């Protein structure tokens, strides 16, 4: 999956909040939170916005004052807020701090919680952006190299986490489960599925569709996204605009082997074809395949350890990604 978010009208793009799974699961229910627990949850959300989830700079308690304001606004006087109340108040307060009215949470895993989002936020507008899984694989494979592409302050722990998160089988299966999760809600007028490749091929028309969906007026400024945070190209400070060459980067880049491409295509063929992605039909190397299968336990083990802070209950996380 890929996300392109610009500041549009009353909307303000937030950092990935990682509320679902990390701080709340539907199984947790909606019991009122004690004040201390509510402030702790709000502090975690605010800290993530200022520092990011993985950078571990400072402490969540550094933002107690802002968290208390979020909790105070989350429920009527004399009532205790629920986790969803805290999240709703956090989105509103953070958007306000950034000069807007509506917070846009672009956390990728939200794709597995569309049902809950629409239930608790009936006026929400959701954009599901689908990208060629081979391009996703190339991006994920190179993400650990962001330190050399212009992202300063990236901790070595995050480098290891990014490295462990990539495996051709795991990445392609996750892509498929995420796309299918989005498809389940495609009939809802509040949910819009868009192909990343269409955004690059006909940017203005696609962004006009997106603007109409979220009920804001189109502006050419929406296309002026910063050219940064790519795992394939060096950041260009001050440069704006969509990098159209990213659409076929996986074809023109030597980052993926023929074996990785075939493993992806065989794992996600049906879903790929459903979204207009052609299957190459190449041949995999027996030796390379064996290497990837041998690396799978190591990659899964390291990834489990490195991601435990953001997935909460791993059993629940696996069930969500398997569609259960």
CATH number at residue 279: 3.40.50
Strands (E), the chain: 11-13, 102-104, 126-130, 191-195
Q: Number of folded domains in the chain?
A: 1
Lowest mean pLDDT among 40-54, 72-86, 100-114: 40-54
| Inside any domain, residue 188 | yes
Are 48 and 15 in contact, with CB atoms under 8 Å apart?
yes
**Dist. CA 40–CA 95, nearest whole Å:** 20
Per-residue pLDDT band at 259 (split at 50, 70, 90): very high
Tell me the pLDDT of the chain averaged across its residues. Answer: 86
Looking at per-residue pLDDT, the higher value among 202 and 155 belongs to 202
pTM of structure: 0.85
Q: How confident is the model at residue 5 (pLDDT cuts 50, 70, 90)?
A: very low
Residue 284 maps to a domain: yes
Tokens of 300: 């899964």
CA gyration radius for the chain?
20
Confidence of residue 73 (pLDDT cuts 50, 70, 90): very high
* Residues 162/143, Cβ–Cβ less than 8 Å: yes
Domain of residue 278 covers: 11-16+106-321
Residue 115: inside a domain: yes
* Per-residue confidence (pLDDT) for residue 86, from 0 to 100: 97
**Within its chain, how far is the Cα of 13 from the centroid?**
12
Average pLDDT estimate for 297-310: 85
In a domain, 81, yes or no: no
Comparing 226 with 111, the larger pLDDT belongs to 111
Task: Report yes or no on 82 lying in a domain.
Answer: no
Q: Encode pLDDT of 187-245 as tens digits.
A: 999 999 999 999 999 999 999 999 999 998 998 888 887 766 555 556 666 777 777 77
> Would residue 48 count as lying in a domain?
no
Residue 99 lies in a domain: no
Do the beta carbons of residue 13 and residue 100 sit within 8 Å? no
Q: Which residue has the tokens 């028309």?
A: 205
Q: Is residue 4 a part of any domain in this protein?
A: no
């Amino acid at each position: 999956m890929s996300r392109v978010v610009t500041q549009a009208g009353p909307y303000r793009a937030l950092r990935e909040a990682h509320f679902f799974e990390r701080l709340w699961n539907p199984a947790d229910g909606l019991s009122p939170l004690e004040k201390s627990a509510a402030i702790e949850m709000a502090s975690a959300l605010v800290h993530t916005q200022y520092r990011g989830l993985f950078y571990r700079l400072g402490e969540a308690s550094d933002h107690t004052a802002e968290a208390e304001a979020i909790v105070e606004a989350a429920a009527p006087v004399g009532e205790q807020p629920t986790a969803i109340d805290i999240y709703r108040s956090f989105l509103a307060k953070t958007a306000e701090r950034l000069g807007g009215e509506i917070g846009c949470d672009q956390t990728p895993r939200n794709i597995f919680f569309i049902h809950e989002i629409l239930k608790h936020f009936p006026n929400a507008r959701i954009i599901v952006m689908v990208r060629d899984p081979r391009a996703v694989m190339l991006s994920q494979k190179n993400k650990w190299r962001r330190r050399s592409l212009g992202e300063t302050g990236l901790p070595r722990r995050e480098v290891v986490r990014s490295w462990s998160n990539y495996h051709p089988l795991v990445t392609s299966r996750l892509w498929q489960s995420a796309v299918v999760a989005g498809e389940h809600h495609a009939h809802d007028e509040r949910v819009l599925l868009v192909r990343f490749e269409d955004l690059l091929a006909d940017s203005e028309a696609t962004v006009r569709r997106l603007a109409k969906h979220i009920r804001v007026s189109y502006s050419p400024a929406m296309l002026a996204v910063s050219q940064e945070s790519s795992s394939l190209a060096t950041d260009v400070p001050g440069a704006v605009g969509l990098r159209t060459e990213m659409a076929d980067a996986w074809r023109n880049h030597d980052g993926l082997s023929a074996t990785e491409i075939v493993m992806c295509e065989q794992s996600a063929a049906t879903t790929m074809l459903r979204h207009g992605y052609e299957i190459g039909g190449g041949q995999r190397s027996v030796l390379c395949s064996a290497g990837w299968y041998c690396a799978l336990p190591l990659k899964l083990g390291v990834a489990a350890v490195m991601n435990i802070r953001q997935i909460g209950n791993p059993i629940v996380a696996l069930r969500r990604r398997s569609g259960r």
